[in-house]
Protein backbone atom coordinates (compact mmCIF):
# COMPACT_ATOMS: atom_id res chain seq x y z
CA UNK A 1 0.00 0.00 0.00
CA UNK A 2 1.28 3.45 -0.83
CA UNK A 3 0.04 6.64 0.74
CA UNK A 4 -0.72 9.64 -1.42
CA UNK A 5 2.36 11.88 -1.23
CA UNK A 6 2.27 15.01 0.87
CA UNK A 7 2.87 18.33 -0.99
CA UNK A 8 6.18 18.87 0.83
CA UNK A 9 7.36 15.68 -0.87
CA UNK A 10 7.00 17.26 -4.28
CA UNK A 11 10.21 19.19 -3.52
CA UNK A 12 12.07 16.18 -2.16
CA UNK A 13 11.81 12.39 -1.84
CA UNK A 14 10.51 10.10 0.86
CA UNK A 15 13.31 9.10 3.22
CA UNK A 16 11.24 6.53 5.00
CA UNK A 17 7.64 5.62 5.35
CA UNK A 18 5.61 4.13 8.17
CA UNK A 19 2.45 2.37 7.06
CA UNK A 20 -0.21 1.74 9.68
CA UNK A 21 2.22 0.88 12.44
CA UNK A 22 0.95 -0.15 15.86
CA UNK A 23 2.82 -0.80 19.07
CA UNK A 24 1.38 -2.55 22.08
CA UNK A 25 3.03 -2.43 25.52
CA UNK A 26 1.02 -4.92 27.58
CA UNK A 27 -2.40 -3.29 27.86
CA UNK A 28 -1.27 0.06 26.44
CA UNK A 29 -1.67 0.73 22.74
CA UNK A 30 1.15 3.24 22.39
CA UNK A 31 0.70 3.64 18.60
CA UNK A 32 -2.53 2.99 16.74
CA UNK A 33 -2.19 2.58 12.99
CA UNK A 34 0.20 5.47 12.50
CA UNK A 35 1.08 6.32 8.90
CA UNK A 36 3.85 8.79 8.23
CA UNK A 37 6.19 9.84 5.47
CA UNK A 38 9.52 11.38 6.38
CA UNK A 39 10.84 13.79 3.74
CA UNK A 40 14.54 13.59 2.79
CA UNK A 41 16.82 16.45 3.89
CA UNK A 42 14.04 18.16 5.81
CA UNK A 43 13.26 18.56 9.49
CA UNK A 44 10.21 16.59 10.59
CA UNK A 45 9.01 17.50 14.07
CA UNK A 46 6.78 15.15 16.07
CA UNK A 47 4.78 16.98 18.70
CA UNK A 48 1.98 16.17 21.08
CA UNK A 49 1.15 15.89 24.78
CA UNK A 50 3.19 13.63 27.01
CA UNK A 51 2.46 9.94 26.43
CA UNK A 52 1.06 10.42 22.90
CA UNK A 53 3.68 8.11 21.36
CA UNK A 54 6.44 10.43 20.07
CA UNK A 55 9.36 8.55 21.58
CA UNK A 56 7.80 5.23 20.62
CA UNK A 57 7.63 6.40 17.00
CA UNK A 58 11.36 7.24 17.06
CA UNK A 59 12.18 3.90 18.66
CA UNK A 60 10.23 2.12 15.92
CA UNK A 61 12.24 3.93 13.26
CA UNK A 62 15.44 2.92 15.03
CA UNK A 63 14.12 -0.66 15.38
CA UNK A 64 14.46 -0.54 19.16
CA UNK A 65 10.78 -1.39 19.52
CA UNK A 66 8.95 -4.25 17.88
CA UNK A 67 5.90 -3.38 15.81
CA UNK A 68 2.67 -5.19 16.62
CA UNK A 69 1.54 -4.52 13.07
CA UNK A 70 2.37 -2.37 10.07
CA UNK A 71 5.64 -1.80 8.24
CA UNK A 72 8.36 0.80 8.07
CA UNK A 73 10.09 0.99 4.72
CA UNK A 74 13.42 2.58 4.02
CA UNK A 75 14.10 2.88 0.34
CA UNK A 76 12.31 -0.20 -0.93
CA UNK A 77 13.03 -2.34 2.07
CA UNK A 78 11.13 -3.02 5.24
CA UNK A 79 13.44 -2.20 8.14
CA UNK A 80 12.20 -5.33 9.91
CA UNK A 81 14.03 -7.35 7.26
CA UNK A 82 17.30 -5.46 7.55
CA UNK A 83 20.09 -6.76 9.75
CA UNK A 84 21.57 -4.58 12.43
CA UNK A 85 24.57 -3.48 10.37
CA UNK A 86 22.39 -2.50 7.42
CA UNK A 87 20.05 -0.65 9.70
CA UNK A 88 22.87 1.20 11.43
CA UNK A 89 24.26 2.25 8.09
CA UNK A 90 20.85 3.46 7.05
CA UNK A 91 19.71 5.15 10.22
CA UNK A 92 23.01 6.25 11.67
CA UNK A 93 23.13 6.58 15.41
CA UNK A 94 20.43 8.40 17.19
CA UNK A 95 20.74 10.61 20.19
CA UNK A 96 18.16 10.34 22.90
CA UNK A 97 18.26 13.47 25.04
CA UNK A 98 22.07 13.81 25.10
CA UNK A 99 23.42 11.23 27.55
CA UNK A 100 27.09 12.15 27.30
CA UNK A 101 29.48 9.60 28.78
CA UNK A 102 30.54 11.17 32.10
CA UNK A 103 33.97 9.51 32.20
CA UNK A 104 34.90 10.65 28.68
CA UNK A 105 36.18 14.09 27.70
CA UNK A 106 34.26 16.24 25.22
CA UNK A 107 36.63 15.16 22.46
CA UNK A 108 36.20 11.47 23.31
CA UNK A 109 32.43 11.84 23.43
CA UNK A 110 32.28 13.49 20.01
CA UNK A 111 34.74 10.94 18.64
CA UNK A 112 32.85 7.98 20.11
CA UNK A 113 30.95 6.76 17.07
CA UNK A 114 33.69 7.37 14.45
CA UNK A 115 36.06 5.42 16.74
CA UNK A 116 33.55 2.56 17.11
CA UNK A 117 33.22 2.51 13.34
CA UNK A 118 36.99 2.17 13.06
CA UNK A 119 37.65 5.37 11.15
CA UNK A 120 41.29 6.40 10.64
CA UNK A 121 42.64 8.14 13.70
CA UNK A 122 44.38 10.88 11.72
CA UNK A 123 41.22 12.39 10.25
CA UNK A 124 39.23 12.06 13.45
CA UNK A 125 40.90 14.77 15.55
CA UNK A 126 40.36 17.24 12.72
CA UNK A 127 36.73 16.15 12.45
CA UNK A 128 36.12 16.64 16.19
CA UNK A 129 37.53 20.14 15.85
CA UNK A 130 35.26 20.91 12.90
CA UNK A 131 32.19 19.59 14.70
CA UNK A 132 32.93 21.57 17.86
CA UNK A 133 33.39 24.71 15.78
CA UNK A 134 30.11 23.94 14.02
CA UNK A 135 28.22 23.96 17.34
CA UNK A 136 30.19 27.05 18.34
CA UNK A 137 32.33 25.59 21.08
CA UNK A 138 35.99 26.58 20.86
CA UNK A 139 37.83 23.24 20.53
CA UNK A 140 40.87 24.56 22.41
CA UNK A 141 38.69 25.48 25.38
CA UNK A 142 36.31 22.53 25.40
CA UNK A 143 38.14 19.53 23.97
CA UNK A 144 39.55 18.30 27.27
CA UNK A 145 36.64 19.24 29.54
CA UNK A 146 34.41 16.59 31.10
CA UNK A 147 30.60 16.62 30.99
CA UNK A 148 30.27 17.73 34.64
CA UNK A 149 32.28 20.86 33.77
CA UNK A 150 29.73 21.94 31.15
CA UNK A 151 26.57 24.04 31.48
CA UNK A 152 23.31 22.48 30.31
CA UNK A 153 23.49 24.36 27.02
CA UNK A 154 27.11 23.39 26.37
CA UNK A 155 26.31 19.74 27.07
CA UNK A 156 23.47 19.89 24.53
CA UNK A 157 25.86 21.31 21.94
CA UNK A 158 28.34 18.52 22.55
CA UNK A 159 25.40 16.11 22.21
CA UNK A 160 24.56 17.55 18.79
CA UNK A 161 28.24 17.40 17.73
CA UNK A 162 28.38 13.77 18.82
CA UNK A 163 25.19 12.92 16.94
CA UNK A 164 26.75 14.39 13.81
CA UNK A 165 30.01 12.54 14.49
CA UNK A 166 29.69 9.70 12.01
CA UNK A 167 27.78 11.80 9.50
CA UNK A 168 24.59 9.72 9.75
CA UNK A 169 22.01 10.08 6.95
CA UNK A 170 19.28 10.75 9.51
CA UNK A 171 19.34 12.38 12.92
CA UNK A 172 16.80 11.20 15.45
CA UNK A 173 16.51 13.72 18.27
CA UNK A 174 14.27 13.11 21.25
CA UNK A 175 13.63 16.37 23.12
CA UNK A 176 17.30 17.34 22.73
CA UNK A 177 16.82 20.82 24.19
CA UNK A 178 14.46 19.73 26.93
CA UNK A 179 16.56 20.28 30.00
CA UNK A 180 17.82 23.85 29.51
CA UNK A 181 16.53 27.31 30.43
CA UNK A 182 14.43 29.20 27.84
CA UNK A 183 17.22 31.56 26.72
CA UNK A 184 19.73 28.77 26.15
CA UNK A 185 17.01 26.81 24.43
CA UNK A 186 16.42 29.60 21.96
CA UNK A 187 20.16 29.88 21.26
CA UNK A 188 20.37 26.15 20.67
CA UNK A 189 17.44 26.39 18.27
CA UNK A 190 19.20 29.23 16.42
CA UNK A 191 22.27 27.09 16.10
CA UNK A 192 20.30 24.08 15.04
CA UNK A 193 18.79 26.14 12.20
CA UNK A 194 22.21 27.49 11.30
CA UNK A 195 23.74 24.00 11.19
CA UNK A 196 20.80 22.52 9.31
CA UNK A 197 21.18 25.17 6.61
CA UNK A 198 24.72 24.01 6.04
CA UNK A 199 24.24 20.27 6.38
CA UNK A 200 20.67 19.72 5.13
CA UNK A 201 20.16 16.49 7.04
CA UNK A 202 17.07 14.37 7.29
CA UNK A 203 16.06 15.06 10.88
CA UNK A 204 13.27 13.63 13.00
CA UNK A 205 12.94 15.81 16.05
CA UNK A 206 10.65 15.19 19.01
CA UNK A 207 9.44 18.00 21.25
CA UNK A 208 6.45 18.97 23.35
CA UNK A 209 7.18 22.69 22.91
CA UNK A 210 4.95 24.15 20.20
CA UNK A 211 7.11 27.26 19.68
CA UNK A 212 10.17 25.10 19.17
CA UNK A 213 8.23 22.86 16.79
CA UNK A 214 7.00 25.76 14.67
CA UNK A 215 10.46 27.28 14.47
CA UNK A 216 12.31 24.15 13.49
CA UNK A 217 9.87 22.10 11.45
CA UNK A 218 9.66 21.88 7.69
CA UNK A 219 7.06 19.22 8.27
CA UNK A 220 5.03 19.17 11.48
CA UNK A 221 3.32 16.04 12.75
CA UNK A 222 0.81 16.56 15.56
CA UNK A 223 0.07 13.44 17.58
CA UNK A 224 -2.51 12.57 20.19
CA UNK A 225 -3.06 9.33 22.07
CA UNK A 226 -1.07 7.16 19.70
CA UNK A 227 -2.45 8.69 16.52
CA UNK A 228 -1.45 11.35 14.01
CA UNK A 229 -4.00 14.17 14.11
CA UNK A 230 -2.51 16.49 11.48
CA UNK A 231 0.68 16.46 9.44
CA UNK A 232 1.59 19.40 7.23
CA UNK A 233 3.88 22.42 6.98
CA UNK A 234 3.74 24.66 10.06
CA UNK A 235 2.36 27.46 7.89
CA UNK A 236 -0.55 25.32 6.70
CA UNK A 237 -1.29 24.04 10.19
CA UNK A 238 -1.25 27.55 11.63
CA UNK A 239 -3.48 28.75 8.80
CA UNK A 240 -5.97 25.90 9.09
CA UNK A 241 -5.83 23.75 12.20
CA UNK A 242 -7.76 20.57 11.51
CA UNK A 243 -9.81 20.45 14.68
CA UNK A 244 -10.30 21.96 18.10
CA UNK A 245 -7.51 19.88 19.63
CA UNK A 246 -4.94 21.26 17.18
CA UNK A 247 -6.32 24.77 17.61
CA UNK A 248 -6.01 24.56 21.39
CA UNK A 249 -2.58 23.05 21.05
CA UNK A 250 -1.38 25.97 18.89
CA UNK A 251 -2.58 28.46 21.48
CA UNK A 252 -4.28 31.85 21.16
CA UNK A 253 -1.34 33.81 19.66
CA UNK A 254 -1.25 32.18 16.27
CA UNK A 255 -0.30 35.36 14.37
CA UNK A 256 2.73 35.96 16.60
CA UNK A 257 3.68 32.33 16.16
CA UNK A 258 3.57 32.82 12.40
CA UNK A 259 6.41 35.33 12.78
CA UNK A 260 8.65 32.59 14.05
CA UNK A 261 8.23 30.84 10.68
CA UNK A 262 10.16 33.53 8.86
CA UNK A 263 13.79 34.37 9.34
CA UNK A 264 15.48 37.76 9.05
CA UNK A 265 17.01 36.99 5.66
CA UNK A 266 13.51 36.73 4.17
CA UNK A 267 13.04 40.47 4.44
CA UNK A 268 16.44 41.87 5.32
CA UNK A 269 17.27 45.12 3.53
CA UNK A 270 20.97 45.12 2.74
CA UNK A 271 21.71 48.65 1.51
CA UNK A 272 21.21 50.67 4.67
CA UNK A 273 22.75 54.01 5.62
CA UNK A 274 25.77 53.38 7.80
CA UNK A 275 29.25 54.69 8.51
CA UNK A 276 32.00 55.21 11.06
CA UNK A 277 30.72 58.68 12.00
CA UNK A 278 27.45 59.91 13.44
CA UNK A 279 25.02 60.73 10.61
CA UNK A 280 24.77 64.13 8.95
CA UNK A 281 21.61 65.42 7.30
CA UNK A 282 22.96 64.47 3.90
CA UNK A 283 23.23 60.77 4.77
CA UNK A 284 20.04 60.63 6.83
CA UNK A 285 17.63 63.32 5.62
CA UNK A 286 15.12 64.56 8.19
CA UNK A 287 12.15 63.04 6.36
CA UNK A 288 13.82 59.63 6.21
CA UNK A 289 12.04 56.75 7.89
CA UNK A 290 15.09 54.51 7.86
CA UNK A 291 17.75 53.96 10.46
CA UNK A 292 21.36 54.98 10.28
CA UNK A 293 23.80 52.51 11.81
CA UNK A 294 27.08 53.77 13.17
CA UNK A 295 29.72 51.04 13.03
CA UNK A 296 33.17 50.62 14.55
CA UNK A 297 36.34 49.95 12.55
CA UNK A 298 35.45 46.25 12.39
CA UNK A 299 32.02 47.02 10.97
CA UNK A 300 30.14 46.08 14.16
CA UNK A 301 27.08 48.28 14.73
CA UNK A 302 27.51 50.44 17.85
CA UNK A 303 24.65 52.93 17.58
CA UNK A 304 21.37 53.31 15.72
CA UNK A 305 19.99 56.74 14.75
CA UNK A 306 16.58 57.95 13.61
CA UNK A 307 14.69 61.20 13.27
CA UNK A 308 11.78 61.72 15.67
CA UNK A 309 9.83 64.99 15.29
CA UNK A 310 12.86 66.89 13.98
CA UNK A 311 15.20 65.49 16.59
CA UNK A 312 17.95 62.99 15.90
CA UNK A 313 17.57 60.18 18.43
CA UNK A 314 20.19 57.51 18.98
CA UNK A 315 20.34 54.21 20.80
CA UNK A 316 23.45 52.35 21.87
CA UNK A 317 23.61 48.93 20.27
CA UNK A 318 24.97 46.26 22.52
CA UNK A 319 26.19 43.67 20.03
CA UNK A 320 25.03 40.57 21.88
CA UNK A 321 21.46 41.48 22.79
CA UNK A 322 20.54 44.25 20.36
CA UNK A 323 21.29 42.65 17.02
CA UNK A 324 19.91 39.67 15.13
CA UNK A 325 21.46 37.18 12.72
CA UNK A 326 20.26 36.37 9.21
CA UNK A 327 18.76 33.17 10.58
CA UNK A 328 17.00 34.78 13.57
CA UNK A 329 13.22 34.57 13.47
CA UNK A 330 11.09 37.62 12.79
CA UNK A 331 9.70 37.10 16.24
CA UNK A 332 13.18 37.75 17.65
CA UNK A 333 13.59 40.73 15.31
CA UNK A 334 10.33 42.10 16.69
CA UNK A 335 11.57 41.68 20.27
CA UNK A 336 14.84 43.46 19.38
CA UNK A 337 12.98 46.33 17.73
CA UNK A 338 10.76 46.72 20.78
CA UNK A 339 13.66 46.61 23.21
CA UNK A 340 15.70 49.29 21.37
CA UNK A 341 12.85 51.51 20.26
CA UNK A 342 14.31 51.92 16.78
CA UNK A 343 12.19 51.26 13.66
CA UNK A 344 14.46 48.43 12.59
CA UNK A 345 16.73 45.72 13.95
CA UNK A 346 20.34 45.52 12.79
CA UNK A 347 21.19 42.20 11.17
CA UNK A 348 24.80 41.08 11.61
CA UNK A 349 26.85 38.35 9.94
CA UNK A 350 28.75 35.54 11.69
CA UNK A 351 31.51 37.97 12.66
CA UNK A 352 29.05 40.47 14.11
CA UNK A 353 29.47 42.94 11.22
CA UNK A 354 26.51 44.95 9.98
CA UNK A 355 24.78 43.02 7.21
CA UNK A 356 21.49 44.90 6.86
CA UNK A 357 18.29 45.62 8.75
CA UNK A 358 14.80 44.24 9.26
CA UNK A 359 12.16 46.95 9.46
CA UNK A 360 9.16 47.04 11.73
CA UNK A 361 6.88 48.01 8.84
CA UNK A 362 7.96 44.92 6.90
CA UNK A 363 7.21 42.64 9.84
CA UNK A 364 3.84 44.28 10.19
CA UNK A 365 2.91 43.50 6.58
CA UNK A 366 3.95 39.89 7.02
CA UNK A 367 2.05 39.35 10.25
CA UNK A 368 -1.25 40.55 8.77
CA UNK A 369 -0.90 38.95 5.34
N1 LIG B 1 8.61 0.47 27.80
C2 LIG B 1 7.31 0.74 28.01
N3 LIG B 1 6.51 -0.12 28.67
C4 LIG B 1 5.21 0.14 28.85
N5 LIG B 1 4.59 1.24 28.43
C6 LIG B 1 5.32 2.15 27.77
C7 LIG B 1 6.73 1.95 27.53
N8 LIG B 1 7.20 3.03 26.85
C9 LIG B 1 6.15 3.86 26.67
N10 LIG B 1 5.02 3.33 27.23
C11 LIG B 1 3.68 3.94 27.18
O12 LIG B 1 3.35 4.17 25.82
C13 LIG B 1 2.71 5.43 25.65
C14 LIG B 1 3.54 6.31 24.71
O15 LIG B 1 4.77 6.61 25.31
P16 LIG B 1 5.89 7.52 24.64
O17 LIG B 1 6.07 7.12 23.24
O18 LIG B 1 7.08 7.46 25.52
O19 LIG B 1 5.21 8.96 24.70
P20 LIG B 1 5.84 10.43 24.47
O21 LIG B 1 7.26 10.27 24.04
O22 LIG B 1 4.96 11.06 23.46
O23 LIG B 1 5.71 11.14 25.79
C24 LIG B 1 2.55 6.00 27.05
O25 LIG B 1 1.27 5.66 27.51
C26 LIG B 1 3.63 5.30 27.84
O27 LIG B 1 3.27 5.22 29.19
MG1 LIG C 1 9.05 10.94 25.01
Distance CA 278, CA 286 (A): 14
Tell me the CATH class for 265-368. Answer: alpha beta
Largest CA-CA distance found in the chain, in angstroms, rounded: 77
Q: Is 53 in the pocket of ligand 1 (CB under 6 A)?
A: yes
Q: Is 55 in the pocket of ligand 1 (CB under 6 A)?
A: yes
In this structure, the number of other CB atoms found within 10 A of the CB of residue 31 comes to 29
Name residues whose C-beta falls within 8 Å of residue 323's C-beta, 6 or more positions apart in sequence. Answer: 301, 317, 336, 345, 346, 347, 348, 352
Q: Is 60 in the pocket of ligand 1 (CB under 6 A)?
A: no
Q: Is 34 in the pocket of ligand 1 (CB under 6 A)?
A: no
The H or E element containing residue 205 is strand 202-207
pLDDT tens for the chain, 369 residues: list them: 455 566 677 788 999 999 999 999 999 999 999 999 999 999 999 999 999 999 999 989 888 888 999 999 987 788 777 777 767 666 655 555 457 888 999 999 999 878 877 888 888 999 899 889 988 899 999 999 999 999 888 888 898 888 888 778 888 888 888 777 888 888 888 888 888 888 899 999 999 999 899 989 999 999 999 999 999 999 889 888 999 999 999 988 887 788 888 889 989 999 899 999 999 888 888 888 789 999 999 999 999 999 888 889 999 998 778 999 998 989 889 999 988 889 999 999 999 999 999 999 888 887 655
Q: Whose Cα sits closest to atom 25 in ligand 1?
A: 51
CA–centroid distance for 312 within its chain: 39
| Among 188, 168, 206, 185, residue whose Cα is nearest residue 54 | 206
Apex CA 78: angle with CA 74 and CA 84, to 5°? 85
CA–centroid distance for 7 within its chain: 21
User: From ligand 1's centre to the CA of 56, what distance in Å?
Assistant: 6
Q: Which residues surround ligand 2, an ion (CB under 5 A)?
A: 55
- Domain residue extents for the chain: 7-92+168-261, 265-368
CATH superfamily membership of 7-92+168-261: P-loop containing nucleotide triphosphate hydrolases (3.40.50.300)
Name residues whose C-beta falls within 8 Å of residue 92's C-beta, 6 or more positions apart in sequence. Answer: 166, 167, 168, 169, 170, 171
Long-range contacts of 335-343 (CB under 8 A, 24+ apart): 337/363, 340/304, 340/315, 341/315, 342/291, 342/304, 342/306, 342/315, 343/289, 343/290, 343/291, 343/306
Amino acid sequence: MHLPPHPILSETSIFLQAERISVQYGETRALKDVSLQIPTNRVTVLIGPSGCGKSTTLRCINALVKLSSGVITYGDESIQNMNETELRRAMGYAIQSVGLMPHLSVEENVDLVPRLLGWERSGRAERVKRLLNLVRLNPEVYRNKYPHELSGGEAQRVGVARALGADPPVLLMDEPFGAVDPLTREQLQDEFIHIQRQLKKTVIFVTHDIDEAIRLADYLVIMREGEVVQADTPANILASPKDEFVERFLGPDRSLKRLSLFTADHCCIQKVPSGLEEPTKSVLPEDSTSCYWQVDAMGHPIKGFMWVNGRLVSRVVNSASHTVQTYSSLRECMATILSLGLPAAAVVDDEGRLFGEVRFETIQTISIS
